[in-house]
Amino acid sequence: MTIPAPDASQLQKFLAECALGNQRSFEALYRAVAPQLLAVALKSLRRNDWAEEVLQESFVRIWHNAGRYDAALSAPLTWMINITRNLAIDQLRRRREESLPESGPESTDERADDSAGPHDLAQTAQEKVALDRCLDTLEGKQRQSIVIAYFQGISYAELAQQMSAPLGSVKSWIRRGMERLRTCLES
């Protein structure tokens, strides 16, 4: 069962009231978007405990920065998803750094590590280089559309609004760009 997206105007109202310190609006905002934000965190982190930690951190940040939300820049849910995704990425980096053994001769702690090994990291780095190389072959609008849609996680409609372009054009740019990326990555 899919949870319907909350109404953007209601979320804007909640954020405006949160900026004024209204705790009831903050509670309502939490009930309205927590499932979506938890899903974003879980998708990145793949661990419930870490995702719940990021969710809590996200709402603290949303509470403190609600006054900075600008409806002209993004939809309210997109803004909150970006906060959550960025915190999840920070969490992954922090966990990865914590799992790295200290360098130097005094470090004799040999821990079992279930994080990516050298081969996995090399493959990931090669894939990133290949993706970057292929993204560079795309035309400006195609590249911009794909990067924003997939890496910022916004909908085609929001992207069209953000780029001041017709929805059909945005969909076409993304479809053609993805076809060119697929071809480039397969070669």
Using one digit for the tens of pLDDT, what is the confidence trace for 162-180?
A: 888 898 888 888 888 888 8
pLDDT at residue 143 is higher than 70 = yes
**Range of 89's domain?**
1-99
Q: What's the whole-number mean pLDDT along residues 118-144? A: 74
Alpha helix ranges (H) inside 46-148: 48-65, 76-99, 118-136, 140-146
Q: In terms of domains, do 92 and 178 share one?
A: no
- Residues 79, 53 share a domain: yes
Residue at 112 is within a domain: no
Whether residues 29 and 58 fall in one domain: yes
* Helix residue ranges, H only, 137-186: 140-146, 156-163, 167-186
pTM: 0.53
> 66: closest CA among 142, 120, 15?
15
pLDDT for 86 beyond 50: yes
Tell me which of 71, 99, 127 is where a domain ends: 99
Q: Which of 123, 150, 142, 151 is nearest to 183 (CA)?
A: 142
Residues 84 and 132 in one domain: no
* pLDDT score, position 130: 78
At 186, the pLDDT band (50, 70, 90 cuts) reads: confident
Residue 147, domain CATH: 1.10.10.10
User: Which sign, positive or negative, has the C-alpha torsion 126, 127, 132, 133?
Assistant: positive
Same domain, 92 and 36: yes
The tally of domains found in the chain comes to: 2
Q: Is residue 89 part of a domain?
A: yes
Is residue 132 pLDDT above 90, yes or no? no
- Mean pLDDT of all residues in the chain? 81
Q: In this structure, are 128 and 176 located in the same domain?
A: yes
Whether residue 81 is predicted with pLDDT greater than 70 in this model: the reply is yes
Residues 80, 155 share a domain? no
pLDDT for 140: 84
Report the pLDDT value the prediction gives residue 101, as an integer from 0 to 100.
Answer: 56
Distance CA(92)–CA(112), nearest Å, equals 18
CA distance 4 to 10: 13
